[in-house]
Amino acid sequence: MNLAALNAIAEKMVAPGRGILAADESSGTIKKRFDAINVESTEENRRDYREMLFRSEGMKYVSGVILYDETIWQNAADGTPLVKLIQDADSIPGIKVDEGVQPLSHFPGETITVGLDRLAERLSKYFDQGARFAKWRAVIDIADGVPNFGAIKANAHALARYAALCQAAGIVPIVEPEILMDGAHDIETCDGVTRLVLKTVFDELYDARVPLEGMVLKPNMVICGKGCGKGAHVDDVAIRTIAALKATVPSAVPGIAYLSGGQADELATAHLDAMNRIGGFPWKMTFSYGRALQAAPQKAWAGKKENVPAAQKAFTHRAKMNALASLGQWEGAHEKAA
Ligand code: 13P
């Protein structure tokens, strides 16, 4: 393993002023997004949509793109590999390698992320295709009687095994333990679960001998559930998230790239900005957003060729807003100015 090379990739992924575009929706998820804008989810439409994003000016704010398996092998309409479009924007191609979740036996309502079998083989093919980082998402739900420690530990163990395999293949692992926003839980509950999950994940990474300098953490923010009422104040989310991470995430980790998890676009930007304004932590903090970057361009595009410029503009705007937030320089007025 070449740790210096892994570290250089990780540092580039989280360099202030840029962040990660999560465009790795599985076939089922992208179909849901396309259904919402009345676009049929064909291979060609998925390609056209993602090509539009990768050719937009907003890519200058994007340090890396997480791709789904189908996309990493696709060519643009003119025959250029989509991976090359990303590289030409000085951005790093990445790949989602987990194979989704399955029910975890003996833990009703809890899941385990699968895909470790033959992962080494798949990673080597993805490396040859240009991928330099990967993503694996563990899903933790907060509900009556869940999560349980056994399920957290099983998911953390899988994340650590995945991370070790990635590093051996020259690929930087994004370690993503996502605590869902579903439900009506309060921010204190999310705070406690986030701390327990992160502590367990870093224990497992240590046991798996994963050098933290060669990874990126993709956590949720400490936030109340979608159904919790009026929601928490932006500064409360920022202060609690920083505190929870300081208590559980070693400083050897180069950077944190948050998921948006269903937060409204501007709120996801405001939270990231507030954290970077507070500062005082040892990691770079940026975004690795899916929905919070893509909801606006999807709506503007609606599957129509004539809408491509407007959709690219919408994407560029959100990418720029989040890039400013990664520097702690975003202001509400920037949204209105656009
Ligand atoms: P969201 O920002 O939409 O949560 O997606 C990020 C991601 O990659 C979740 O796994």
What is the full DSSP assignment across 107-133? Answer: STT-EEE---TTHHHHHHHHHHTT--E
**Contact in structure between 97 and 126 (CB atoms under 8 Å):** yes
CA torsion, ordered 30, 36, 38, 41, to nearest 10 deg: 10
Ligand 1 atom nearest the C-alpha of 22 is: 8
**The one catalytic residue among 176, 178, 204, 284:** 176
Pick the atom of ligand 1 nearest to 291's CA. Answer: 3
Span from the CA of 257 to the centroid of ligand 1 (angstroms): 10
Span 11-29, pLDDT tens digits: 999 999 999 999 999 999 9
Give the C-alpha separation, 317 to 310, whole Å: 11
pLDDT at 39 over 80: yes
pLDDT of res. 49: 98
Is the preceding peptide bond at 147 cis, omega within 30 degrees of 0? yes
> How large a percentage of the chain has pLDDT more than 70?
100
Collect all residues with Cβ–Cβ distance below 8 Å to 331 and sequence separation of at least 6: 324
- Domain at 171, CATH number: 3.20.20.70
Q: Which residues have any ligand 1 atom within 6 Å of their CB?
A: 22, 137, 176, 259-261, 289-292
Q: How far apart are the first and last CA of the chain?
A: 45
Total length of the chain: 338
- Beta strand 255-258 with 101-103: parallel, antiparallel or unpaired? unpaired
Angle between helices 265-278 and 291-301 (to 10 degrees): 150
**SS3 assignment, position 175:** strand
Phi first, then psi: what are they for 32, rounded to 5°? -60, -45
Nearest C-alpha neighbor of 248 from the set 224, 281, 274:
281
Domain count, the chain: 1
Average pLDDT for residues 275-285, to the nearest whole number?
Answer: 98
Mean pLDDT of 304-318: 98
Summary mean pLDDT of the chain: 98
Q: What does pTM read for this prediction?
A: 0.98
pLDDT for 231: 86
Helix (H, G, I), strand (E, B) or coil at 29: helix
Residue-wise pLDDT for 182-239, tens only, equals: 999 999 999 999 999 999 999 999 999 999 999 999 999 999 999 998 889 999 999 9
Choice from 259, 265, 267, 272 to test ligand 1 binding pocket (greatest atom count within 8 A of CB)? 259
Average pLDDT over residues 240-256: 98
Distance CA 9, CA 5 (A): 6
The pLDDT of residue 336 is 84
* The pLDDT value given to residue 126: 99
> For residue 62, what are the β-bridge partners?
19
Question: Does residue 156 surpass a pLDDT of 90?
Answer: yes
Longest dimension (CA), the chain: 53
Strands (E) across the chain are located at: 19-23, 62-67, 92-96, 101-103, 111-113, 133-140, 172-179, 216-217, 255-258, 284-289
- How far is the C-alpha of 248 from the C-alpha of 18, rounded, in Å? 25
Which amino acid residue places its CA nearest to atom 5 of ligand 1?
290
How large is the average pLDDT for residues 329-334? Answer: 95
**Percentage of residues in the chain with pLDDT exceeding 90?**
98
Beta 62-67 vs 216-217: how paired, if at all?
Answer: unpaired
How many whole angstroms from 22 Cα to the centroid of ligand 1?
6
| Residue 171 neighbours by CB under 8 Å, 6+ apart | 123, 126, 127, 131, 132, 133, 134
- Local confidence band at 337 (pLDDT 50, 70, 90 cut-offs): confident
Note the pLDDT of residue 338.
Answer: 67
Residue 121 makes CB contacts below 8 A (sequence gap 6+) with none
Q: How far apart are CA 332 and CA 273, in angstroms?
A: 11
Name which residue sits closest to atom 9 of ligand 1, judged by CA.
Answer: 259
User: 252, exposed or middle or buried, with CB in 10 Å at 0-12, 13-18, 19+?
Assistant: middle
Q: Is the pLDDT of residue 162 over 90?
A: yes
Tell me, yes or no, if 218 is annotated catalytic.
yes
Nearest alpha carbon, ligand 1 atom 1: 290
Domain that residue 242 falls in: 3-337
CA distance 304 to 282: 44
pLDDT-derived band at 267 (thresholds 50, 70, 90) equals very high
More confident residue, 266 or 230: 266
Buried/exposed code over 212-246 (b: 16+ C-beta within 10 A; e: otherwise): bebbbbbbbbbbbbeebeebbeeeebbbbbbebbe
pLDDT at residue number 230: 82
What is the rounded distance in angstroms from the CA atom of residue 320 to the CA atom of residue 314? 10
57 Cα to the center of ligand 1, angstroms: 22
